[in-house]
Amino acid sequence: MTAGDAPGRRHYIGRMQQAQTTLAIATRGMGFTDLTDDIAGWLAASGIRTGLLSLLCRHTSAGLLITENASPAVRRDLARWLARLAPEGSGYEHDEEGPDDMPAHLRAALTGPSLTIPVADGRMVLGTWQGIYLAEHRHAPHRRQVVAHVIGEA
């Protein structure tokens, strides 16, 4: 065995393919934007049936999350919880862009910049009540970018 060889067998089935796009999302300001249908449509068009989907939010004051998509109350409660954890105020050193500047960065750290989702039968393997959301943590509307990359087999 040489360096880099892994013990055991490797199985190669089919031919791996990949696709990538950047989704442009216009937000209305602080809140959650459902990306589930847009991502599902792009994924279906990619032709990849089995694989792994990666999503990356290219911003430090917005994030991605998977949460319940049936009850809007869940997102309202989540927004109130995030506001309690990272309240606006004058106690932050980083406040060049206003009172929502540093709280937005803190909330983005909590929601996270990326998601990884399995793909089966050409669809994201999400639970019945799960949706993918961009969490905008700034008051003003923004144009956000989410990079989607899928790798797998057709």
Find the CATH number of the domain harbouring 114: 2.60.120.460
Region 26-39: what's the mean pLDDT? 98
Give the pLDDT of residue 13.
Answer: 57
Q: What percent of the chain has pLDDT over 90?
A: 86
One-letter identity of residue 40: A
Closest residue by Cα to residue 26 from 151, 148, 145 = 145
Q: Assess if residue 17 is contained within a domain.
A: no
Q: Quote the CA–CA distance of 152 and 122 in Å, as a whole number.
A: 10
**What does the alpha-carbon distance between residue 53 and residue 30 come to, in Å, rounded to a whole number?**
26
Residue 2 clears pLDDT 80, i.e. is over it: no
Q: How many domains does the chain have?
A: 1
**Token pair recorded at residue 20:** 């990538």
Start-end of H helices in the chain: 36-46, 72-85, 101-111
Residue 11 lies in a domain: no
Domain hosting residue 56, numbered range: 28-153
**79: its two tokens:** 């927004």
Buried b (16+ CB within 10 A) or exposed e, 6-45: eeeeeeeeeeeeebebebebebeebebbebeebbbebbee
Does some domain include residue 147?
yes
- The pLDDT tens digits for 14-27 are 689 999 999 999 99
CB proximity list for 41: less than 8 A, separation 6 or greater: none
- What token pair was written down for 24? 């442009």
In angstroms, how far is CA 108 from the centroid of its own chain? 11
What is the predicted pLDDT for the residue at 14? 66
Note whether residue 19 is domain-resident.
no
In a domain, 10, yes or no: no
In a domain, 64, yes or no: yes
pLDDT digit string, tens, across residues 49-104: 999 999 999 999 999 999 999 999 999 999 999 999 999 987 899 988 999 999 99
Query: How much is the pTM?
Result: 0.89
